[in-house]
Amino acid sequence: MARETAAKAAALAISALTIILCVGFDMPADRVGICSGSPVIHRLTYHFFHVSIPHVLMNDWCLLSVVFLYDISWLTLLGAFLIAASFPADSLSAILPGAFSLPTIGLSGVCYALMGRIAFMTERKIYYQLWLWFYIALGFAFPNVNGWLHLYCYLVGLFIGFINKPLP
């Protein structure tokens, strides 16, 4: 119970921090985001910065929904941050030249890692998967949305959810 309470408090603090940073500090994405060749510190902090108020509100709503509805532990929340921080932008830029030249910011990688992690906890698994794959595909359709980050984080979260799912 304490682990879930700590995760809820952390999620609320993260949401407050992201809103404060979005409203109070207009940081350009190229100074804080991750892209091919970005410094390591950007990998640890890019989650907290957002492009606009709708962007931060959508990401915060998703984070809080998953953490509160599925009683995520603080270790799972930390794991989701590490998954998003480990996004292989440099390796993928060798395969897809120029694909990761624009910096990425926002909590969506963390959200997709959490949504992959809870995939085996949902009641309507096929329905859940169809919507998630639709959202991932939508990320590839819109410019300035890093669909590769969403796909990577979801697949890694899904793998971790699979190896940690309870036995029947």
Q: What's the confidence (pLDDT) of residue 104? A: 84
What is the distance between the alpha carbons of residues 137 and 147, in angstroms, rounded to a whole number?
A: 7
Q: Using alpha carbons, list the distances in angstroms from residue 29 to 54, 68, 82, 107.
A: 16, 29, 20, 13
User: Given phi > 0 = left and psi -120 to 50 = alpha, else beta, which region is 59?
Assistant: alpha
Q: What single string gives the DSSP state of each residue in 36-98?
A: TT--HHHHHHGGG--SSHHHHHHHHHHHHHHHHHTT--HHHHHHHHHHHHT--HHHHHHHSTT
Q: What's the confidence (pLDDT) of residue 168? A: 65
Annotated domain spans of the chain: 2-163
For 122-132, write each residue's pLDDT tens digit.
889 999 999 99
> 38 is written with which tokens?
């970005």
pTM tops 0.75: yes
For 54-80, write each residue's pLDDT tens digit.
889 999 999 999 999 988 889 999 999
> 140 is written with which tokens?
């590839």
2-163 has which CATH code? 1.20.1540.10
SS3 of the chain: helix, strand, coil, percent, to 5 = 70, 0, 30
